[in-house]
Structure 1
Amino acid sequence: MSTHSSSSSSSSIWAVSNIKLQFFARIRRFLQSKATRKRCDASDRFIIAKSRAEQNNNKDENLETVQVMEAKHEEEEEEFEESAITLLQRTVKMLHFGSWEEKEVAAKEIGRLAKEDVKVRKLITELGVVPVLVSMVASPVATRRQAGLTALIQLADGTYTNKALIMEAGILSKLPKTVDLVDESTMSDFAELLLSLSSLANTQFPHSSLDFIPFLREILETSSNFDTKASCLGALYNLSTVLDNVGPLVSNEIVPILLELSLVKEISEKALATLGNLVVTLMGKKAIENNSRVPISFIDILSWEDKPKCQELSVYILMILAHQSSSQREKMAQAGIVHVLLEVVLLGSDLAQKRAMKLLQWFKDERQTRMGPHSGPQTPRFAMGSPVNQRDVKEGKKLMKSLVKQSLNRNLEIITQRANASGECSNQKSLVISTSSKSLPY
């Protein structure tokens, strides 16, 4: 028993010693590379300064002045770099081998240093700080967890390598089981970190990592902060760009909350963009069209003249839902979509206008089919010389044309009034000129 205990203790000591040796070896290589760059930079500056000085009349005096200035500048740079390196060395050492209180201080300092530059962020992660910071995220101590989160957010900024290292360190297994255990500020930090990591969706993002979707949904349902919600929606959007992720997103009931948030103007665009990615799949389309908010929610969004991007996304989703679905087109017609589409055609952005015109054409074709000779009860055909009064037939046609024209004019008047109120249209005449009964039959 004693032999086994002593061997175990020896191996543990050896492991710690090995970690320390690796750590100081990395610091030594970093210092050597810095020193080499400083010598090269100093030499280059001296050559340039000498060349400039020799071009002047008072060569000796100017050269001496420049040399003094360059030496002073070089000395200041060396002092600054040495202090920065010393600080980084002390901070990383404290994070690896210090107490939990020292680790917390070191994590805050790493978060501050990581803001400076991508190269600094990469260097810090090469010193093996990520696993320690990830372990801090699971700490029950709020300040310690916050320090670890902040440092990881900064390290993940702008570098896929660091994001991959954070994922490999098991950050997703350290997430809280429920948002009830964290405050609003911590929820915001978790959402920001997950947004950053979700950009790996099209690269090495593992499928099993989607277990954090319920956590994102809880934040969306709980948080009152629009920035926090926007970060969660951004993460969901990144995930929705991969078709294999549609199943987990739908099964975790993300669609209902996306539909709800699509009606909130401050964050609607990202919610609609995510729904636009889901609707092109069979599972996603089914989940969307079976919701009681559809299609009324999307039709309401079409009236947001101050949100052209939302209009474009909404009419796009409506096009996908209406395509080859007579039941959806019937729901849309009953909800008054034709009138709203006319407004979009006249007042929307170029892309929204094109999509709205395409959707209107489908309703026009469907209406013509219903009114065609084979779509309803057939009237008997009369041979030449029939006693039917041809004059009555012509009068009936005139009456129908008049009714259609009156309906169109009525719609145009309503649209003109709204356009004049918002300052987007000058008068009814310009609307009539730009519209014809042939292209817009409703």
Structure 2
Amino acid sequence: MSQTLGPNMPETPPSSSIWALSHMKLRFFARVRRFLQTKTTQRNIKSRNKAMVNKEEQVTTADKRSGDGDDDDDSVVLQRSVKRLHFGGLEEKEMAAIEIERLAREDVKMRKLMAELGVIPALVGMVASEVAGRQRVAIKALIELANGTYTNKALMVEAGIFSKLPVNIDVLEEPTRHEFAELILSLSSLANHTQFPLASSEVLPFLIGILESGSSCETKELCLGTLYNLSAVLDNTGALLSNGVVQTLLRLISVKALSEKALATLGHLVVTLMGKKAMENSSLVPESLIEIMTWEDKPKCQELSAYILMILAHQSSVQREKMAKSGIVPALLELALLGSPLAQKRALKLLQWFKDERQTRMGPHSGPQTARIAIGSPVNHREAQEGKKLMKDLVKQSLHKNMELITRRANATSGDSSMLKSLVISTSSKSLPC
């Protein structure tokens, strides 16, 4: 004869581990009972007979559709779902994951209780399923379980969630990619802790694969958010660079919808020696960054681009020379006049460096020296003053040409254009480089 443990429990299967299974179920009921005791609302418990037990699938579906939030009904669904997830067949596991997602979304206490009942390792195992629908319901449930709970996130990483990521993202449909990216972004909050095994996991190749694929901007934005969180930890720089993150980000900064997060991540990497060197060696630098400084509709991107260029130009005459040849001075002049306060400050700082660079090249050591003047050759001070005046006039002409370009771009406010033009006319050649 089989032994019946309760109206909601199936008959105990005959095996050599009857006592162990019974003990596990008793512990499960004890935990659920403690959870129910925390509820302030008391309701009468409905009687359930054998006919209701035989129709568990219909009751579960009805509970899911009604969504009336009754505490006792939720406790029954929780019992049933956890039991199915651990002991049920494939279809039962899938239905259980759907119910777990709903319960976890509605109640934070449920999330913690589910983790104690061991649902996370079971769901992580389902992520590796080759059936797309079964894989997606598991990912959705994990996203809800990870919401706002550090412990649950750590349990997912410990259960090997990153090892379940597919090597070839082409086998994934776009919705599945998006859900994977959302889950990884949530887990990336562990980046400051040892629980996030970045170097030894498949997470970076997976993220880079999505960023370089034809995935939607929304999915790519989630991946960029993850890279931003990871790049904030200096210890992760080596792993990020070895996976080619810099080149991927530099290609994405030209996409306006993704540029801000890509630039912010590059801003984290450029302060490291390895990151700065990787950017200096890229063929996309500095032209792509200079182009972004002209995006009047993206002030944050202008600020970030100017910041990265400041880091690259600092104490590097080679980089400043490359920037000068790429036409950075007119872009900086425009940004210094029309940009946000922070962008103006950074642009003026860069302009000062280029001014100092020019003055160094044009100093006494680089021009004709007095010792080279032949003995007896008179020095005509009047001619020297006229030469200086001519040079100033040439500088002003260059500034006027640059200003005409700027005022055309700022023609939306014609009154400001005349003000800016008068500002340049009154500015001497000592304040800005030509």
TM-score, L = length of structure 2: 0.85
User: Which segment drifts farther, 202-211 or 338-347?
Assistant: 202-211
After TM superposition, give the deviation of residue 432 of structure 1 in Å: 3.1
- Check if 1:441 corresponds to 2:415: no
Match of 1:304 among 286, 295, 301: 295
Match of 2:29 among 19, 24, 27: 24
Whether contact under 8 Å (2:157, 2:196) holds in the other structure is: no
After TM superposition, give the deviation of residue 419 of structure 1 in Å: 0.8
Which residue of structure 2 aligns with residue 397 of structure 1?
Answer: 388
- 3-state SS of the aligned residue for 1:38? coil
Match of 1:38 among 41, 60, 64: 41
Cα deviation 1:238-271 (Å, max 9, x = unaligned): 1101111000110111111100011100011111
Aligned partners of 2:283 and 2:382: how far apart in 1? Answer: 50
Whether contact under 8 Å (1:255, 1:288) holds in the other structure is: yes
Cα deviation 1:189-224 (Å, max 9, x = unaligned): 111111110111013433345442111111111233
After TM superposition, give the deviation of residue 390 of structure 1 in Å: 2.8
Which residue of structure 1 aligns with residue 125 of structure 2?
Answer: 135
User: Which segment drifts farther, 128-137 or 80-89?
Assistant: 80-89
Aligned partners of 1:209 and 1:109: how far apart in 2? Answer: 33
Match of 1:338 among 329, 337, 348: 329
Which residue of structure 2 aligns with residue 323 of structure 1?
Answer: 314
User: Which segment drifts farther, 163-172 or 79-88?
Assistant: 79-88
Aligned partners of 2:117 and 2:414: how far apart in 1? Answer: 59
Aligned partners of 2:166 and 2:409: how far apart in 1? Answer: 50
Which residue of structure 2 aligns with residue 56 of structure 1?
Answer: none
Aligned partners of 1:239 and 1:214: how far apart in 2? Answer: 14
Whether contact under 8 Å (2:74, 2:103) holds in the other structure is: no
After TM superposition, give the deviation of residue 345 of structure 1 in Å: 0.3
Number of residue pairs aligned between Structure 1 and Structure 2: 392
Match of 1:256 among 234, 247, 263: 247
What is the identity, as a one-letter code, of the residue corresponding to 2:21?
V
Cα deviation 1:262-305 (Å, max 9, x = unaligned): 11000111111111111111111111110100110100110111
- Check if 1:200 corresponds to 2:190: yes
- 3-state SS of the aligned residue for 2:257? coil
Aligned partners of 1:354 and 1:14: how far apart in 2? Answer: 74
Whether contact under 8 Å (1:133, 1:148) holds in the other structure is: yes
Whether contact under 8 Å (2:332, 2:351) holds in the other structure is: yes
Say if 1:13 and 1:262 are closer, same or farther in 2 by CA, change over 3 A.
Answer: farther
What is the CA RMSD across the aligned residues, in angstroms?
2.3
Aligned partners of 1:387 and 1:319: how far apart in 2? Answer: 46
- Check if 1:348 corresponds to 2:339: yes
Whether contact under 8 Å (1:413, 1:428) holds in the other structure is: no
Whether contact under 8 Å (1:239, 1:245) holds in the other structure is: yes
Aligned partners of 2:30 and 2:214: how far apart in 1? Answer: 45
Which residue of structure 1 aligns with residue 176 of structure 2?
Answer: 186
- 3-state SS of the aligned residue for 2:191? helix
Higher helix proportion: 1
Say if 1:306 and 1:371 are closer, same or farther in 2 by CA, change over 3 A.
Answer: same
What is the identity, as a one-letter code, of the residue corresponding to 1:134?
V
TM-score, L = length of structure 1: 0.83
Which residue of structure 2 aligns with residue 109 of structure 1?
Answer: 99
User: Which segment drifts farther, 239-248 or 106-115?
Assistant: 106-115
- 3-state SS of the aligned residue for 1:405? helix
Say if 1:336 and 1:79 are closer, same or farther in 2 by CA, change over 3 A.
Answer: closer
Match of 2:350 among 346, 354, 359: 359
Residue identity (%): 65
Aligned partners of 1:157 and 1:272: how far apart in 2? Answer: 27
After TM superposition, give the deviation of residue 382 of structure 1 in Å: 6.9
Which residue of structure 2 aligns with residue 94 of structure 1?
Answer: 84
Whether contact under 8 Å (2:267, 2:308) holds in the other structure is: yes
Which residue of structure 2 aligns with residue 71 of structure 1?
Answer: none
User: Which segment drifts farther, 141-150 or 198-207?
Assistant: 198-207
Whether contact under 8 Å (1:184, 1:223) holds in the other structure is: no
After TM superposition, give the deviation of residue 349 of structure 1 in Å: 0.7
Aligned partners of 2:107 and 2:200: how far apart in 1? Answer: 29
* Residues 233-248 of structure 1 mapped to structure 2, 5 A cutoff: 233-248=224-239
Say if 1:391 and 1:202 are closer, same or farther in 2 by CA, change over 3 A.
Answer: same
Whether contact under 8 Å (1:172, 1:209) holds in the other structure is: no
